[in-house]
Structure 1
């Protein structure tokens, strides 16, 4: 009798069904994760670069490679939370330009290093507040608002500077973008690591992070469950603006000058970094660990191209193709492998 029941039950189970994710062991889930795939890509890029150029494995060259991604990653951490919540900010590069312009004006008036850092951070925070107020206060689409403020903030920089540049920053200010904490570990790299830990805790180990995920999956349901959706989204835009201001401090310090074209096109690289890190462009899922690995991969690829004297336009083409491929890959997987994608 038992054998007959077992036979009937087995006939009802569809053949070839994948094991649900909740029934896999932690090791199986880790091996099947997007972060593991990124680690494999990182190892491949590292090996290719080491064979492509004899200068790649020099510790100081590797340290210089970190400047290719640290400033973008600072913004990418905040952008990841924003995209997980179902929003986006395309004005981050223009916020950098405006914050750098504000610091340039201040240095012409004799401002010292602490004042310059404060002005850069405050400008970024104010720009984030403008975006947040328009989006959460008036209910406007974030992509439309931030495209508008992208032109607005950059346009103000061009009006102030024209074809000129602000220089003459204090020597102490250059430490933020050029200084080293210990041996080959620059201040920017140490700051990148600290921010990665802080944002990882914020997203994955706090009620705020759980609220961000809930909003990204269904903001209406999150609102009815007691989550203050507008307030959290406004805070995320503030955080993104603040990180853009911090990136402006580091980038201006590293370059030693302010031009209206500073950080031009960086918003594309930031979004690519976030999406490559496994954050769903439609919101609701993603991790800081993935963004960290994606930042390392993009930094190594950019540095490898630089060692091989690849033109900058080729790098831009590569980043554009990478963004399209990462967005299209899950859709192609669902179309051609629906059973595995569903599992």
Structure 2
């Protein structure tokens, strides 16, 4: 059998799958974030007094619950190569609408439903401007960030709606009996399973990754790019509204400035968790670890009497690191691979191509 025949029949494999399974699972950015989370927790438990107390775990999870909700659809949006900076404003707007409808005498379940509808409408506005009008998501969501926040503050001004029923407020802050884990985590775990299946085990999820790799290629492959993005932005609005309801009940106050700046924590956690800002790559377990890592750092620093300004600086630094590090490591790997290739090709040339001995033109041929 000729070499050409062998080359044609040899199976082609992706480079990533040339490694053993344990390396593909363990030697990833997501697992690095998980390891970092465990290390930071151990160090904080040793160095910071009362950090390992059950009450600290409870408040840590209560603090990050809203971010965990929003991070689920945000992960999928960034994988497609888009971004949603308006999520914190949607939290504030849904919080205000929840307070206004409750103040008007509407039962709490219907207040929650109305807030979720408001979130869906906000997400639809973002999706319409991005997928139908064709505007860039960065510009659109910066604009709607100001729009939704302005509406939230305009509806209530400097006042706040308080006095929510203790039953609902206690439900937002209660824990699973016998554990320090808040009850709100049950809802989050259900949503996490649904989103993990949607992203990693369905054609819709494969389409999300395909859009992030190349929207044009995805479109020619049959993926409905615009419709997929529209659904993701609506999901983002709904989950942000759910976070707004939780935020209101937890703190017992509906205000127009609720959750100001939360988008920084969400995006930092998603990117820190291994999702590429350029799209096409990411996994939910890394994102959850990223959220918990930032929350653990913030909780430990607060217990160590570090000011909120310093915590914001650390969060911003992590965000910059999350954006820069993949490009830096990719550049370093490519440069190292090129240097190895040059050394390998040089030695192969010396071994395979010895200096040729040429004959003069008038040398008689041996074939005569």
TM-score past 0.5 threshold = yes
1:25 to 6, 20, 37: 20
1:299 to 275, 290, 295: 295
Separation in structure 2 between the aligned mates of residue 302 and residue 111 of structure 1, nearest angstrom: 37
Separation in structure 2 between the aligned mates of residue 305 and residue 232 of structure 1, nearest angstrom: 40
2:323 to 327, 335, 341: 327
- The 5 A counterparts of 1:183-332 are 183=178, 184-332=180-328
C-alpha deviation, 1:97, in angstroms: 0.6
Partner residue of 1:147?
142
Work out the number of aligned pairs and report it. 326
C-alpha deviation, 1:124, in angstroms: 0.8
Separation in structure 2 between the aligned mates of residue 208 and residue 108 of structure 1, nearest angstrom: 40
Q: Which has the larger radius of gyration?
A: 2
Separation in structure 2 between the aligned mates of residue 165 and residue 148 of structure 1, nearest angstrom: 25
C-alpha deviation, 1:341, in angstroms: 7.9
In the alignment, is the contact (CA less than 8 A) between 1:107 and 1:168 conserved in 2? no
- Specify the SS of the correspondent of 2:235: helix
- Specify the SS of the correspondent of 2:101: helix
**What are the superposed Cα offsets for residues 102-144 of structure 1, whole Å, 9 maximum, x if unpaired?**
0111111112221121122111111101111111111111111
C-alpha deviation, 1:339, in angstroms: 5.0
C-alpha deviation, 1:251, in angstroms: 0.7
In the alignment, is the contact (CA less than 8 A) between 1:135 and 1:145 conserved in 2? yes
C-alpha deviation, 1:220, in angstroms: 1.0
- Which consecutive residues of structure 1, in runs of 5 or more, have no partner in the other structure? 6-18
Separation in structure 2 between the aligned mates of residue 294 and residue 146 of structure 1, nearest angstrom: 23
Kindly indicate whether residue 84 of structure 2 is the aligned counterpart of residue 109 of structure 1. no
2:95 to 81, 100, 108: 100
Separation in structure 1 between the aligned mates of residue 260 and residue 191 of structure 2, nearest angstrom: 23
2:129 to 114, 134, 156: 134
Separation in structure 2 between the aligned mates of residue 70 and residue 144 of structure 1, nearest angstrom: 27
- Specify the SS of the correspondent of 1:181: coil
C-alpha deviation, 1:291, in angstroms: 0.6
Name whichever of 272-281 and 65-74 sits farther off: 65-74
- Specify the SS of the correspondent of 1:247: helix
Separation in structure 1 between the aligned mates of residue 100 and residue 228 of structure 2, nearest angstrom: 33
**What are the superposed Cα offsets for residues 220-272 of structure 1, whole Å, 9 maximum, x if unpaired?**
11112211111111000000001101101111110100121110000011000
Kindly indicate whether residue 334 of structure 2 is the aligned counterpart of residue 338 of structure 1. yes
C-alpha deviation, 1:275, in angstroms: 0.3
Separation in structure 2 between the aligned mates of residue 21 and residue 341 of structure 1, nearest angstrom: 15
- Specify the SS of the correspondent of 2:176: strand
Partner residue of 1:13?
none
- Which consecutive residues of structure 2, in runs of 5 or more, have no partner in the other structure? 4-13, 341-368
TM (norm. structure 1) is: 0.91
In the alignment, is the contact (CA less than 8 A) between 1:161 and 1:260 conserved in 2? yes
- Specify the SS of the correspondent of 2:311: helix
- Specify the SS of the correspondent of 1:182: coil
**What are the superposed Cα offsets for residues 85-116 of structure 1, whole Å, 9 maximum, x if unpaired?**
11111000000111011011111111222112
Kindly indicate whether residue 165 of structure 2 is the aligned counterpart of residue 163 of structure 1. no
**What are the superposed Cα offsets for residues 40-90 of structure 1, whole Å, 9 maximum, x if unpaired?**
211211111111223111122212211221210110110000010111110
C-alpha deviation, 1:335, in angstroms: 2.9
Q: CA RMSD in A?
A: 1.9
In the alignment, is the contact (CA less than 8 A) between 1:96 and 1:247 conserved in 2? yes
- Specify the SS of the correspondent of 1:163: coil
Separation in structure 2 between the aligned mates of residue 186 and residue 58 of structure 1, nearest angstrom: 14
**What are the superposed Cα offsets for residues 272-307 of structure 1, whole Å, 9 maximum, x if unpaired?**
011011001111110011111111111111111121
**What are the superposed Cα offsets for residues 168-214 of structure 1, whole Å, 9 maximum, x if unpaired?**
21223214421223332212222222222211111000111001011
Separation in structure 2 between the aligned mates of residue 166 and residue 189 of structure 1, nearest angstrom: 26
Name whichever of 144-153 and 60-69 sits farther off: 60-69
C-alpha deviation, 1:314, in angstroms: 0.8
Separation in structure 1 between the aligned mates of residue 240 and residue 316 of structure 2, nearest angstrom: 22
